[in-house]
Structure 1
Amino acid sequence: MSADDILGAMGEPSATDASNPLLAESTDDSSLGPVSLLKPTQDEDDFDELQDIDETLAERLWGLTEMFPECVRNATSGVVGMSGASAKWLYQVGRVGVWVIASSAAILAFPIMFETERAQMEEQQVQQQRQILLGPNAAVAGSGMGAPGMMGAMPPLTAGPPGSIPR
């Protein structure tokens, strides 16, 4: 309660106000009379500042919105709402997209990758066997052959007139 509230509500001090320690008059000059209420002490200033802090930042920002026209407030509210909705939609679409890509890769791409890796491993094992059986030069020279010691594949025969020699 401020000093103006006390003075405005009570007017002049009366005999019944003697029970109030703030309005009680004493004989020494340092008394707390109605005049001393107009000039707050340091403790009262600190108390008033603490009471003013009750307003939060959100409340202050909300109070500042009154200085803008209604159309600006509505437009800003629409943009913020649309941004939130867009972010939510993008998150949901992203989740679904990642799920589709991951499951498609697991079903379609991984078996192909595993099969090619298996074929490469088999080819490496065949080369190691050639190297062990025939020596280090056989593995390099025989890499284009089907089996060790066999000749390369023959060229395809072309069909020509009967009795002609294929080229």
Structure 2
Amino acid sequence: MSEELTIQEVTDGSELEEDFEDETIFERICALSEMFPTPVRNITSLAATLSWKGAVGAFRFGRSATWIASTSFMILFLPIVFEAEMAQMEQAQLQHQRQILLGPNAASGGMPGFPAGLGPPGGIQQTAR
């Protein structure tokens, strides 16, 4: 008998739900908005609008600032980086040529016949006559 009661209770509950009409979310929000006074709704609407405009403005500013910073870097600093790289490549090329022509001591700046980094005694450099 207890089984019959529970079945009836379940069917009674579902009948109550069928009595209500289906509402959309928009209709529910409109109905809930009527619970709050007009000044509260106006302030909430203003806060939401200002937040959205602030986010859009921050995005636009960030986009412009990124463009200005990246193009300025390319115009101002990349030529300096390229020139430094070219100078370094020329120096490496000259050192490689010296090493090929004069031997391993010439690449490090040493004089022929002396270990790298050392010159003749007394610091006198040999000159070609």
TM-score (normalizing by structure 2):
0.65
Superposed counterparts of 1:16-165, under 5 Å:
45=15, 48=18, 52-53=21-22, 55-142=23-110
Percent of pairs identical after alignment? 47
More helix by share: 2
Q: Deviation of residue 47 (structure 1)?
A: 9.8
Q: Deviation of residue 58 (structure 1)?
A: 2.8
Moved more, 55-64 or 109-118: 55-64
Instruction: Give the letter aligned to residue 94 of structure 2.
Output: V
Displaced runs of 4+ in structure 1, greater than 3 A? 45-49, 141-144
Q: Distance in 2 between matches of 1:47 and 1:65?
A: 24
**Max Rg structure:** 1
Q: Which runs of 5+ in 2 are unaligned?
A: 1-10, 111-115, 118-124
Q: 1:46 to 1:120 in 2, by over 3 A?
A: farther
SS at match of 2:108: helix
Q: Distance in 1 between matches of 2:82 and 2:59?
A: 32
Over the aligned positions, Cα root-mean-square deviation in angstroms equals 2.9
Q: 1:69 to 1:139 in 2, by over 3 A?
A: same
Q: Distance in 1 between matches of 2:17 and 2:33?
A: 29
Q: Deviation of residue 46 (structure 1)?
A: 9.9
Once the two structures are superposed, residues 130-163 of structure 1 have per-residue CA deviations (whole angstroms, 9 ceiling, x without a partner) of 222222232223599xxxxxx5xxxxxxxxxxxx
Q: Distance in 1 between matches of 2:16 and 2:44?
A: 38
- Count of residues paired in the alignment: 102
Alignment-derived partner of residue 113 in structure 2: none
